[in-house]
Amino acid sequence: MPRKSKLSELNQTHGKVEKPVTLDQIWGDTGINKYGTLDPVQYDKYVNDLNKSDLQAHAVKIGLVPIDDRSTLISRLKREFNKHASTYKVSSFEKKESKLSKRSKDTLSEGR
């Protein structure tokens, strides 16, 4: 008779096949070339350290129309960065530890 696996030894998968989304990803682009990073904290620091003319030049390089209001331009740049970074990040489901009581676990395991 086969041994039953312990709950802590089991893995769960989401079943989603991770595949490239864009043609650039198929060719091996990692997404770092456009912004220099995919880390939101690092990009946030970079954008906040730019002066107004450099910020507008960066917006033109990214493909945005530069505007005069610094805070609005920064928020647009961050929004575009997040869109770009999200296409290159692989989603992952982390195994979360169950916080059920022993009685609840016993009730749920009755159907096995």
Domain boundaries, the chain: 33-88
The pLDDT score that the predictor gives to residue 59 is 93
**What pLDDT, in 10s, does the model give residues 4-31?**
767 667 666 666 656 666 676 677 667 7
Element housing 82 (H / E): helix 70-88
**What pLDDT, in 10s, does the model give residues 61-70?**
999 998 999 9
Residues 30 and 26: their CA atoms lie apart, in Å, by: 10
Check: pTM over 0.85? Answer yes or no. Answer: no
Amino acid residing at 110:
E
Residue 6 per-residue DSSP state: P
